[in-house]
Amino acid sequence: MRKIISLICFLLPAVTFAADAQIRDNAPEQHIVTKGDTLWGIANRFFSDPWQWPQIWGLNKDTIKDPHWIYPGDVVRLDHRNGSLRVDADQTLGSTIKLSPHIHSIQGQSQAISAVPRSDIAPFLKYPLVVGENDLINAPVLVATLDKRVVVGDDDIVYVQGLSEAQGTSWQIYRPGKALTDPETKQVLGYEAIYLGEAQVEKFGHPSTVRIIHAAQEIKKGDRLVAKAVAQSDNFVPRAPSTKLVTKIISIHGGAELAGQHSVITLNKGAQDGLETGHVLALTRHGEALHNDDQAMCETGDVACKKGQDITLPDQHYGLAFIFRTYDRVAYALVMEARFPVELLDNAQTP
């Protein structure tokens, strides 16, 4: 067992937000962290706007490099003096909080609770999800299978043309997916890469001999190989963007038309537009336009409202989404809260 030393979060200066984080009327005074908790979920127990993350946890996002500093057994307490949460590591309830570093005797950092549910986003952190128009076209290609099989799976041998020995023996298999198109400009922002499995080179050549280590889906001739990518970090610090950003939902994972809590959605803006991993956006739907065929629909004294004219209802802010992976022109987000189903072309914008 190794010792991991972590500073409790209230030793760090807080950042300033335009609005104070609102404490819930039914907020508890404290919460004992248990396995399966998330930092988002804990914040949501105490505050009605958990996206105001740095203020709630007393963080300075410019100095925090790793938000994994809370473990099962820790006690999270509500500090009414400054409207933030404080952490008491492995202390008996009711004991005095010590303003000093504390020591966790644990197997490793993986036991720390995560910012958002790891299981919902882990597959999306392991593989490239978006590629350029020619990225897969120019990638090594599966040209033949042993015994001329149409479909191959685990432990089967295939032959691949174009593999580079300099890129190692571990590869991943992909198939080009649908184009991701901006609904406003109609420009193609990228192409989804459909992950098919893992492969290991047994002998380089022209073609190379390759064994399928794991098949997540059916693998066929014509599928493409990419050198195995390094998994993205899940060390997130959720926060609102510092500038006004407005994006649209252009895809829902799995090809669905509607999404709910913990669904993965694709947005039509990315890193080059200022989106960063950890950003929290408000899900918004434009107000419905109603045709006014009844003068009674107008408010008394509203001279602008007339029978036969359309009435546009206010925009609906109905949920929150968390950016966990960005590319140049698109980003992937996890729906954290949604009062009603998320639809394609809804907005996701700075809260």
pLDDT digits (tens, 9 = 90+) for 12-40: 233 333 356 789 988 899 999 998 888 88
Q: Is 119 helix (H, G, I), strand (E, B) or coil?
A: helix
pLDDT of 91 strictly over 60: no
pLDDT of 167 strictly over 70: yes
Q: Do the domain assignments include residue 79?
A: yes
Angle at 17 between CA 79 and CA 269, to 5 degrees: 125
CA dist., res. 90 & res. 151, Å (int) = 53
What pLDDT does residue 59 have? 67
The DSSP element (H or E) to which 331 belongs, if any, is: strand 331-338
Q: Do the domain assignments include residue 97?
A: yes
What pLDDT does residue 338 have? 92
- How many structural domains compose the chain? 3
* Residue 348 burial (CB count, 10 A): 28
* Residue 28 burial (CB count, 10 A): 11
For residue 235, what are its two tokens? 């060390």
Q: Greater confidence, 307 or 77?
A: 77
Are 44 and 140 in the same domain?
no
Q: Is 199 exposed, middle or buried (0-12, 13-18, 19+ CB in 10 A)?
A: buried
Provide the Cα torsion 103, 107, 109, 115; round to 10°. -100
Are 220 and 267 in the same domain?
no
What pLDDT does residue 2 have? 30
Q: Do the domain assignments include residue 124?
A: no
Nearest-CA neighbor of 210 among 231, 224, 230?
A: 224
Q: What is the pTM of this model?
A: 0.74
Are 168 and 256 in the same domain?
no
What pLDDT does residue 28 have? 92
**Could you give phi then psi for residue 224, rounded to 5 degrees?**
-110, 155
**Domain end residue (candidates: 90, 115, 140):** 115
Percent of the chain residues past pLDDT 90, beyond the cut = 43
Secondary structure of the chain: what % helix, strand, coil (to 5)?
Answer: 10, 35, 50
From 12-21, 131-140, 191-200, the region with the lowest mean pLDDT: 12-21
CA dist., res. 13 & res. 61, Å (int) = 10
**DSSP summary character for residue 216:** S
Confidence of residue 106 (pLDDT cuts 50, 70, 90): very low
Span 42-60, mean pLDDT? 81
**DSSP summary character for residue 9:** G
Q: Is 68 helix (H, G, I), strand (E, B) or coil?
A: coil
Written as one letter, the residue type at 242 is S
Boundaries of domain holding 282? 246-349
Are 111 and 134 in the same domain?
no
What pLDDT does residue 198 have? 95
* Average pLDDT value over all residues in the chain: 80
What pLDDT does residue 79 have? 86
Are 251 and 323 in the same domain?
yes
pLDDT of 136 strictly over 50: yes
pLDDT of 10 strictly over 80: no
